[in-house]
């Protein structure tokens, strides 16, 4: 039985080019759990959604920072994506599929739905003008039973 | 010179990049819209042959172009979807909106 324990923290500018960086960094970090390709893709998609939300909705200034913490504990991976930006006035509403505050940017409103679909557990905490934290967890190896 | 699009008559093929996220979406949208408007495109094909990653930003791109083609009475297809892109299509319900070469009945 694997008993890994490992943690890393990234802090990066709220620039769209870092969306790819963040998901690739997390994918590399979790390789020690021997995830399937599908599990890696699920985690990458979820990270991409959370980081994109922080960049688009959290901040106007791309010099502001997005923080990502990734922790491995046993066969679980936990990821927290945090911004100190605008915050979400109504988290429940924001998590409804197809809800978006930026239809002009052709945001699909599917971001949180994707995170929920691809991770086992998701928690979103937010405070207006203080920022937003998206915490998510997935068990790796679940597909093999 | 177009980075993503190839046109033949009024058929436009968009070669979706390796990773379609919010970062890539902006440029792709601009180029595809410019081509659709300039050449009165009737058939729009998204070719996912090279695509390994797509998130919900990609869904926004596809829905936006589909709406645009709908106004023009055109048709939209998605081709060469790998397993991952098929999963994204299913989870988002996009396969009900855009004709694909995905296996039926799933």
From chain B, the residues in CB contact with A23 under 8 A are 53
Backbone angles phi, psi at B60, to 5 degrees: -60, -40
| Chain A interface, best mutation among B54, B57, B82, by max A CB count within 10 A | B57
Confidence of residue B27 (pLDDT cuts 50, 70, 90): very high
Averaged over B72-82, what is the pLDDT? 94
pLDDT at A2: 54
pLDDT at B106: 47
Query: Does B102 score more than 80 pLDDT?
Result: no
From chain B, the residues in CB contact with A36 under 8 A are none
User: What are the residue boundaries of the structural domains of chain A, listed by start?
Assistant: 5-144
- Please state, in angstroms and rounded to a whole number, the distance separating the CA atoms of residues A87 and A53: 11
Q: Is the model more confident about B67 or about A1? A: B67
From 3.30.565.10, 2.40.50.140, 3.40.50.970, 3.40.50.1970, which CATH number describes the A5-144 domain?
3.30.565.10
pLDDT at B101: 82
- Sketch out chain B's domains with CATH numbers: 5-100 (3.30.750.24)
Kindly give the confidence (pLDDT) of every residue in chain A, 145 residues in length, as a single tens digit, with 9 standing for 90 and above.
Answer: 556 799 999 999 999 999 999 999 999 999 999 999 999 999 999 999 999 999 999 999 999 999 999 999 999 999 999 999 999 999 999 999 889 998 888 888 999 999 999 999 999 999 999 999 999 999 999 765 4
pLDDT at B105: 52
Query: Does B84 score more than 70 pLDDT?
Result: yes
Tell me whether residues A106 and B60 touch, CB distance under 8 A. yes
| Chain B interface, best mutation among A27, A41, A117, by max B CB count within 10 A | A41
To the nearest whole Å, the CA of A101 is away from the closest chain B CA by 13
């Amino acid at each position: 039985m694997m008993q890994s324990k490992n943690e890393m923290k990234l802090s990066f500018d709220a620039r769209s080019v870092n969306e790819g960086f963040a998901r690739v960094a997390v994918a590399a970090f979790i390789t020690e759990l021997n995830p399937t390709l599908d599990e890696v893709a699920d985690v990458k998609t979820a990270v991409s959604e959370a980081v994109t939300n922080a960049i688009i909705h959290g901040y106007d200034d791309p010099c502001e920072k997005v923080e990502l913490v990734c922790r491995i504990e046993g066969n679980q991976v936990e990821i927290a994506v945090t911004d100190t930006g605008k915050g979400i006035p109504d988290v429940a509403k924001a998590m409804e599929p197809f809800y978006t505050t930026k239809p002009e940017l052709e945001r699909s409103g599917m971001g949180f739905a994707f995170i929920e679909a691809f991770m086992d557990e998701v928690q979103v905490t937010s405070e207006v003008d203080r920022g937003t934290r998206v915490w998510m967890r997935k068990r790796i190896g679940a597909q093999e039973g | 010179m177009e980075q993503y699009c190839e046109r033949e008559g009024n058929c436009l093929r968009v070669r979706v990049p390796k990773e379609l996220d919010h970062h890539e979406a902006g440029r792709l949208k601009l180029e595809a819209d410019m081509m659709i408007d300039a050449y009165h495109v009737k058939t729009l094909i998204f070719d996912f042959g090279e695509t390994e990653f797509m998130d919900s930003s990609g869904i926004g791109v596809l829905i936006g172009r589909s709406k645009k083609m709908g106004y023009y009475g055109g048709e939209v297809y998605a081709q060469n979807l790998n397993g991952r892109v098929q999963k994204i299509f299913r989870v988002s319900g996009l396969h009900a909106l855009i004709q694909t070469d995905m296996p039926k009945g799933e």
